[in-house]
Amino acid sequence: MKLIVGNWKMNGRRAALAEVEAVAAAADTAGARLWLAPPATLVMAAADSAGDRIAIGGQDCHHAEDGAHTGCISAAQLVDAGARFVILGHSERRANQDESDALISAKANAARAAGLDVIVCVGETEAERDGGQAEAVVGGQLQGSLPSGADGLIVAYEPVWAIGTGRVPAEADVAAMHGFIRARLVARYGPAGGEVIILYGGSVKPDNAATLMAVPEVGGALVGGASLKADSLLAIAAASA
């Protein structure tokens, strides 16, 4: 069964909890495992509403457990709010908050220590792909931003140029990159690296999900825009079955 993760980014007010409930209500028959990462303001309410039906997660966390870090949220606080996973190193945070590989790795280790599963995002820009640098860039991100162990780790391959654009890579390019990531995970973690789920992310929609989810080594999807409404997230889950 594929893992379909919705990333709401900075979208959603309390009224959007109705979408969480609709996804949770359909979870048993969805055809995929469903996780949702609402904004931090909704994590606790979403987790309360979802119960054990779907996992609720955060979109970022700090690498320290507590302390003088105004505006930040720790992994332990996410756990306390009911979160079960956290997305780390999304390309929007790498670009807009200047997050380095080393910082993302520190966050990933902190999140694992707190008991959260971690989704570490990697992906190249269009200029990097056009310049033949896609594997070098993704390889560097894997080298620098992963946690020390494979347990509880999920990697999301998200080509930056496919996020929110409606463009998706050719299936052969997705297959090649997922194969490359798998090889790097096995080289780093041994057999445990063979078990890490590798998600594809970038303009996954109900009408392209079946094709993308059938690509070798694609274990599921990280979905932005199409995760905001339960209907479209559930349609992606059904198409991936």
Residues marked as catalytic: 90, 158
Residue 109 to residue 25: CA distance in whole angstroms: 33
Compare residues 10 and 15 and give the one whose CB is closer to ligand PEP.
Answer: 10
* Rounded least distance, CB 174 to ligand PEP, Å: 13
Determine contact, residues 31/233, Cβ cutoff 8 Å: no
The Cβ of residue 170 has, within 10 Å, a number of other Cβ atoms equal to 9
Compare residues 126 and 186 and give the one whose CB is closer to ligand PEP.
Answer: 126
The Cβ of residue 203 has, within 10 Å, a number of other Cβ atoms equal to 21
* Rounded least distance, CB 126 to ligand PEP, Å: 14
Residue 9 to residue 40: CA distance in whole angstroms: 9
Compare residues 33 and 90 and give the one whose CB is closer to ligand PEP.
Answer: 90
* Rounded least distance, CB 188 to ligand PEP, Å: 23
Compare residues 169 and 224 and give the one whose CB is closer to ligand PEP.
Answer: 224
Binding site for ligand PEP (CB under 6 A): 7, 158, 163-164, 201-204, 222-226
* Rounded least distance, CB 222 to ligand PEP, Å: 5
Residue 11 to residue 171: CA distance in whole angstroms: 30
Kindly tell me the burial class for residue 200, based on how many C-beta atoms sit within 10 Å of its own C-beta (0-12, 13-18, 19 or more): buried
